[in-house]
Chains A and B, each alone.
Chain A
Amino acid sequence: MTAFVELHDVTHVYGGGDGPPAVEGLSLKVKDGEFVAIVGPSGCGKSTLMKLATGLQRAKSGTVIVDGREVVEPIKITGMAFQNPVMLPWRTTLQNLLLPLEIVQPHRSRLRAHKAEYVARAEMLLETVGLKGMGSKFPWQLSGGMQQRASLCRSLIHEPKLLMLDEPFGALDAFTREELWCVIRDLHAQRGVTVILVTHDLREAVFLADRVFCMSARPGRIIAEREIGFARPRDLDITYTPEFAAIVHELRGHIREARAVA
């Protein structure tokens, strides 16, 4: 099977100069519809990997291929969500959700004429993440967890084929985080979207992903890859089983090695 996202021997240096590379010799393949998590010590270039895969940064060497095409500019089939929900405070939640549609074609030229249809789509999305009827609220009237849910909706509104999540739950409390794991799990199951999740929470990675990649400290490379075999749909309870703990423990070992090298 061919890969949906493929990074081959990628090296990236910020600023394009001769400084130390952020990632070096990075290779990675993600299948269509797969859920992949990337873990690693802080500053290992996880976020760089995201920027490379979406075309926000161009690699110094190596190739990045998404959906059969080499990435040379920002690709429009991705949705992104970050630790900071970055909602625009002057727009209501619904207007925030519609923002990608004001930019991405073909929605951009259709938006005005088909407003009702898109608003309905946005409201559906809000409902699936448990924010029914919150569209008219401003982001600052929502709690952190609710803002993050809205941010997820925004990343999905233009029906991207690839969803990039950069520590989206990092700033949330443990209970809200687990709730949102389930939201992401269900969205992935419903939409068959390919997901790349960057995180430093190993339990999160193991619970959500089909495969987990461990990265080394700077310059970042993949040092380990682990298939997660739990059947889907997964229940939160599996996070308390010994098998789950064993995998988390094993990954923890890889991270420790990565940190020791650095």
Chain B
Amino acid sequence: MTRSTWLRLAPYLFTLGFFALWEIACRALSISNFVLPPPSAVWGALVQYQKPLYTNAFHTLWMTSLGFALSIVFGLALGLLVGSSKLIYAGLSPLLVGFNSIPKVAVVPILVIWFGVGWLPPVLTAFVISFFPIVVNVATGLATIEPETEDVLKALGASRLDIMTKVGIPRSLPYLFGALKVSITLAYVGSVIGEQNASNLGLGNLITRASADFNVPLIFAALLVLAVLGVFLVAIVDVVESRMTGWAKRSQLSNA
């Protein structure tokens, strides 16, 4: 086989290898299902509980997507605002960093007090946990425009808005997509935390109930579903990214 075929197969081979090792380790060391179930037991749980897993996964996907969409809209807007003005950048950055340092788990009880148990706390947790990287990256993309580029445009009489739309926004797109990949996984973390603490639905809630029943294989099955959903959404972001900002990767290659 050629190197490129290996390269293409590598993700699948490594994943299979990981599960094989896991299975072998569990059997060889005869680890109890109660501590660490082998993949075969997790698969069994997946099949046995496929219906609740399916409905709850769908719910979690919804919560995550909503929270993620909110954080794209607000993150982009705030990032553009912060990146376009040195004053706002200086003023807001301690606030943003401080806000981001707050453990979001601690915020969930407040959300429950405000909105009650339901779909809002998971969505909002997903939102607050995932929007920070977007703000920071978009702002960085805007703030690092080459001074010469700005000079060329300013000497032509370009307004700030011109510079923003002609250069700033296209330039910050690769940064935005970099952030989206981090954010989408964070959004999952957020929605699951929200569901565990303040919802009657979703994988987070399923995990909480499974752990109350000491149903460890089901917990692992739910975690596996989460991982697969995460990979799936990052892959979508990847495709959109290569469509919209292919120039960024190629230009780096050719300048190297």
Which A residues contact B (CB, under 8 angstroms)?
A: 51, 54-56, 73-76, 78, 80, 82, 84, 86, 88-90, 99-100, 102-104, 138-141, 154-155, 158, 164
**What's the minimum C-beta distance from B195 to chain A, rounded to whole angstroms?**
40
A104's contact among B157, B170, B247, by CB below 8 Å, is which? Answer: B157
**What's the minimum C-beta distance from A171 to chain B, rounded to whole angstroms?**
12
Whether B152 and A56, one on each chain, are in contact in the complex, defined by CB atoms closer than 8 angstroms, is no
A141's contact among B148, B149, B171, B254, by CB below 8 Å, is which? Answer: B254
Q: Enumerate B152-186 residues with CB–CB distance to A below 8 Å.
A: 152-158, 162, 166-167, 170-171, 173
**What's the minimum C-beta distance from B42 to chain A, rounded to whole angstroms?**
45
With A86-B146, A89-B248, A102-B166 known as contacts, the answer to whether A140 contacts B155 (CB < 8 A) is no
Whether A89 and B251, one on each chain, are in contact in the complex, defined by CB atoms closer than 8 angstroms, is yes
> Measured between alpha carbons, how far is A238 from B153 in the docked complex, in Å?
37
Chain A residues near B153 (CB-CB < 8 A): 99, 103
Q: How many A-B residue pairs have CB under 8 A?
A: 72
Whether A99 and B251, one on each chain, are in contact in the complex, defined by CB atoms closer than 8 angstroms, is no
Chain A residues near B151 (CB-CB < 8 A): 51, 56, 80, 82
With A89-B247, A140-B255 known as contacts, the answer to whether A78 contacts B155 (CB < 8 A) is yes
Whether A90 and B157, one on each chain, are in contact in the complex, defined by CB atoms closer than 8 angstroms, is no
Q: Taking CB as reference atom, which chain B residue is nearest A89?
A: B251
> Measured between alpha carbons, how far is A178 from B148 in the docked complex, in Å?
24
Whether B146 and A140, one on each chain, are in contact in the complex, defined by CB atoms closer than 8 angstroms, is no
Chain B residues near A140 (CB-CB < 8 A): 247, 250-251, 254-255
Chain B residues near A86 (CB-CB < 8 A): 146, 148-149, 152
Which B residues contact A (CB, under 8 angstroms)?
A: 146, 148-149, 151-158, 162, 166-167, 170-171, 173, 245, 247-248, 250-251, 254-255
The winner among A51, A84, A90 for most chain B CB atoms within 10 A is A90
Q: Taking CB as reference atom, which chain A residue is nearest B157?
A: A76
Chain B residues near A99 (CB-CB < 8 A): 153, 166
Residue pairs across A and B with Cβ atoms less than 8 A apart, 13 shown, are: A74-B154, A74-B156, A75-B155, A80-B152, A84-B146, A86-B148, A90-B245, A90-B248, A138-B250, A139-B251, A140-B255, A155-B152, A164-B155
**What's the minimum C-beta distance from B91 to chain A, rounded to whole angstroms?**
20
> Measured between alpha carbons, how far is A158 from B166 in the docked complex, in Å?
17
**What's the minimum C-beta distance from A113 to chain B, rounded to whole angstroms?**
20
Chain B residues near A138 (CB-CB < 8 A): 247, 250-251
> Measured between alpha carbons, how far is A104 from B154 in the docked complex, in Å?
10
Told that A84-B148, A88-B166, A103-B156 touch, could you supply 15 new A-B pairs with CB distance under 8 A?
A56-B154, A75-B157, A78-B155, A80-B155, A82-B152, A86-B148, A86-B149, A86-B152, A99-B153, A100-B152, A103-B162, A138-B247, A140-B254, A140-B255, A141-B254
Chain A residues near B154 (CB-CB < 8 A): 56, 74
Whether B170 and A90, one on each chain, are in contact in the complex, defined by CB atoms closer than 8 angstroms, is yes
> Measured between alpha carbons, how far is A76 from B157 in the docked complex, in Å?
6
> Measured between alpha carbons, how far is A73 from B149 in the docked complex, in Å?
18
> Measured between alpha carbons, how far is A82 from B251 in the docked complex, in Å?
20
Whether B170 and A158, one on each chain, are in contact in the complex, defined by CB atoms closer than 8 angstroms, is no
> Measured between alpha carbons, how far is A100 from B171 in the docked complex, in Å?
18
Whether B247 and A90, one on each chain, are in contact in the complex, defined by CB atoms closer than 8 angstroms, is yes
Chain B residues near A164 (CB-CB < 8 A): 155
**What's the minimum C-beta distance from A66 to chain B, rounded to whole angstroms?**
12
With A140-B255, A141-B254 known as contacts, the answer to whether A76 contacts B156 (CB < 8 A) is yes
> Measured between alpha carbons, how far is A144 from B183 in the docked complex, in Å?
37
Q: Taking CB as reference atom, which chain A residue is nearest B244?
A: A90
**What's the minimum C-beta distance from B242 to chain A, rounded to whole angstroms?**
13
**What's the minimum C-beta distance from A50 to chain B, rounded to whole angstroms?**
9
> Measured between alpha carbons, how far is A51 from B150 in the docked complex, in Å?
12
**What's the minimum C-beta distance from A38 to chain B, rounded to whole angstroms?**
17
**What's the minimum C-beta distance from B144 to chain A, rounded to whole angstroms?**
13
> Measured between alpha carbons, how far is A76 from B245 in the docked complex, in Å?
31
Q: Taking CB as reference atom, which chain B residue is nearest A143?
A: B254
> Measured between alpha carbons, how far is A81 from B136 in the docked complex, in Å?
31
Chain A residues near B162 (CB-CB < 8 A): 102-103
